[in-house]
Structure 1
Amino acid sequence: MDPHLLRTFVAVIEHGSFSAAAQGLGYTQSAVSQHIAALEADLGTRLVERRPVGPTAAGERLVEHARPLLLRLDAARADIARLRQVRPARLAVACAPITLTPALTMALARVREATPGLTLAVEVHGRDEAVRAVLTGAADVALVDGVAAPSDPLPLPDAGPMSTLAVAEAPLAILLPADHPLARRPSLRLGDLADAHWVDAPDTAVPLGQLRSAVRSDGFTPHMTYDGTDVRGLGALVASGHGLAALPLPAATGLTGTAAVRIRAPRLVHRTEVVHPRTPTAAVRALVSELNG
């Protein structure tokens, strides 16, 4: 399969329109139509319904393959570029919302002080997007977080030729409204809350799918969805009774109108990891050393 055709196919599916995909890719609409027809001919099946525009069953399956394939191609290009490029002193950090902590900002300040002329950039992304930023060369290092059993690796998207290092761990807590009947409990069992209302905030709180896996339950049904990355915004939704959320205890503590209660079972920890290329820059090595010190 030609990756150019795959990229056009994914753009059509994501935009839900041939014309919008053409505009986004800088092609003519005729060229986009030709790309889709060529890909369908190559695979011997219809991939895109035309009216309305959307994936067929085969197209849905191909999207599942195409996105990681295209990401790995972009990652390969960026990885080779790193070997031949001499970059100015820069440190571009992509971090998941909860990882933007005082510890990180202080580490960045020390690295900047020790590296004259360093250009520093920090962007907050969802977890998967932060990893993609490093893979594609948009960032030099990412800080991502997640939940795992104490001895298990952190579940991360396919990171390709990357290195990871755990730099922080914290207990996991349930964020509840301050007047919730369970708010004064010293600890809670996660499985007992499977049927509660939950806020689905995959880029800020623990994704609900991870909670289902942790207790092997079909529960944890989202009562509402929050697509933001502001922890205080999530706290406001919980305080207003829209649902519960799972967060690391330090991030969950002190949010207005809420209470943070530790999870005692199952045994889970919230972990922060650094993700960077196998050949990191001097600035990345300095940051990792500061965070791991």
Structure 2
Amino acid sequence: MDPHLLTTFVTVARHGSFSAAAAELGYTQSAVSQQIAALEADLGLALLGRRPVKPTAAGRRLLEHAGPLLLRLRAARADVLRAAAVPGHRLRLAATPLALNPVLAMRLARARAAQPRLEVTLHTRGAQEVAAMVAGGEADLGLADGIVAPSDPLRLPDTGPITTVGVTEEELVVALEAGHPLAGRASLRLADLVDARWLQTPLCPLTRLRDLVGEGFPVALDYRGDDVRTVANLVAAGHGLTLLPASALPPTPTAMAARGVPLGAPRLVHRVELLHGALPPGPAADLAHALSG
């Protein structure tokens, strides 16, 4: 199966449009149509309906395989190029919004002080995209975070030969408004909060909490962004609860700020992992060592 044809198919399916896919890929619309027709001829199956443009049942099955296949191809190319690359001082660091906590921000500062020529560009992405960027060579290093049991690894996609190292783990707190009846508790159990009103946010997906505890966790407000301060302000204003690493909230909150009550059960932590491919001696390897503590 030709990966170029597969890329075109994924792009058309994502846009739901041959013309939009052609504009993104730099092809003519006729060329895109010919590539889709060639892929369908290779498989002997219709993959896309034409009016409207959307995947058939066979196309949907192919899409399930296409993403991981194309990512592994990009990862293989990036891994080979990394092995032959000359180390440089311009590094790309991809991180999830909560990954660069105070500890890691300080380690990054020390690494930059030790390497005055080091130039770091920081990209904020979701965990899956961070892993894909590192695997595909779009980032030299990645930092991804998540909610796990102590010492458990994060759930990241299979991207090929990528090294993952746990670099920090910290306490989780239930973030709630100052006037909430539970704000004065010494700790809280997640199982006792299944009927509370929660914020739906990429920083703490409620699907993850349901995986851990079971059904419940009704959505009071669905916030699609990833700004930590916005989340804290929404919590402080009474729009719902969420889980955050303890360092994301101020240690001495004001009357208008969100409160953080330690999560007592189940035993969970906020874990951050460092992701990287093969790193020859040089600035990237030195930065990885510094971030690992």
Q: Deviations 1:209-238 (Å, cap 9, x if unpaired)?
A: 2211211x1333444332322100112222
> Take 1:252 and 1:117, find their aligned partners in 2: how far apart are those partners?
33
Matched-pair contact (CA < 8 Å) for 1:173–1:252: no
Determine if contact 2:79/2:278 at 8 Å carries over to the other structure. no
Distance 2:196 2:53 in 1: 37
Structure 2-normalised TM-score?
Answer: 0.91
The letter for the 2-side match of 1:21 is A
Q: Structure 1 120/137 Cα, relative in aligned 2: closer, same or farther at 3 Å? A: same
**Partner residue of 2:56?**
56
- The reply to whether residue 225 of structure 1 matches residue 233 of structure 2 is no
Give the structure 2 partner of residue 262 of structure 1.
262
Change (3 A) 1:97 1:71: same
Tell me the secondary structure at the aligned position of residue 97 of structure 1: coil
User: In the alignment, what sits opposite 1:186?
Assistant: 186
SS in structure 1 opposite 2:67? helix
Partners of 2:200 and 2:47 in 1: how far apart?
31
Q: 1:218 to 1:63 in 2, by over 3 A?
A: farther
Tell me by how many angstroms 1:280 deviates.
4.9
Is the 1:201–1:207 contact (alpha carbons within 8 Å) kept by the matching residues of 2? yes
Q: Which amino acid aligns with 1:64?
A: E
Q: Hey, what's the Cα distance between the residues in 1 that align with 2:238 and 2:60?
A: 36
Contact 1:96 1:125 in 2 (8 A): yes
Q: Equivalent residue for 2:173? A: 173
String of CA shifts for 1:262-290, please: whole Å, max 9, x gaps.
21111111111111113355223322332
Structure 2 portions without partners, runs of 5+: none
1:247 aligned onto 2:234: no
Per the alignment, in what secondary structure is the counterpart of residue 98 of structure 2? helix
How far apart in 2 are the matches of 1:124 and 1:288?
Answer: 18
- Shift in Å at residue 143 of structure 1? 0.8
Alignment partner, residue 207 of structure 2: 209
Tell me the SS of whatever aligns to 2:179: coil
- Aligned partners of 1:12, 1:222: CA distance in 2, in Å? 33
- Structure 2 partner of 1:276: 276
Q: How many residues are paired up?
A: 290
Structure 2 Cα separation of the partners of residues 253 and 261 of structure 1: 12
Hey, what does 2:45 align to over in structure 1?
Answer: 45
Instruction: Tell me the secondary structure at the aligned position of residue 285 of structure 2.
Output: helix
Structure 1 pair 9/196, CA: closer, same or farther in 2 (3 Å)? farther
Q: Secondary structure at the match of 2:138?
A: coil
Deviates more, 1:12-21 or 1:241-250: 241-250
**Distance change in 2, residues 1:35/1:241 (3 Å):** farther
Post-superposition CA distance 1:162-210 (Å, at most 9, x none): 11111111111222222222222221111222233322222xx222222
Question: Could you tell me which residue of structure 2 aligns to residue 130 of structure 1?
Answer: 130
CA–CA separation in structure 2 for the residues paired with 1:230 and 1:167: 22
Contact 2:274 / 2:292 at 8 angstroms: preserved in 1?
A: no
Q: 1:10 to 1:221 in 2, by over 3 A?
A: farther
Matched residues in 2 for 1:17 and 1:268: separation? 44
CA shift, 1:30, in A, is: 1.1
Identity of matched residues, %: 54
Change (3 A) 1:239 1:280: farther
**8 Å Cα contact 2:153/2:166 also seen in 1:** no
Deviation digits for residues 6-25 of structure 1, max 9, x if unmatched?
Answer: 11111111112110011000
Question: What is residue 147 of structure 2 aligned with on the other side?
Answer: 147
Letter in 1 for 2:236: A
Paired with 2:240 and 2:55, the residues of 1 have a C-alpha distance of 33
Specify the alignment match of 2:71 in structure 1: 71
Q: Distance in 2 between matches of 1:233 and 1:149?
A: 27
Give the Cα–Cα distance (whole angstroms) in 2 for the partners of residues 35 and 221 of structure 1. Answer: 45
CA 1:281–1:244: 2 relative to 1, 3 Å? farther
Q: Is the 8 A contact 1:15 1:21 kept in 2?
A: yes
1:114 Cα deviation (Å)?
2.1
Contact 2:279/2:285 (CA < 8 Å) preserved in 1? no
Supply the distance in 2 between the matched residues of 1:280 and 1:200 (Cα, whole angstroms): 41
SS of structure 2 residue aligned to 1:169 = strand
* Alignment-mate amino acid for residue 150 of structure 1: P
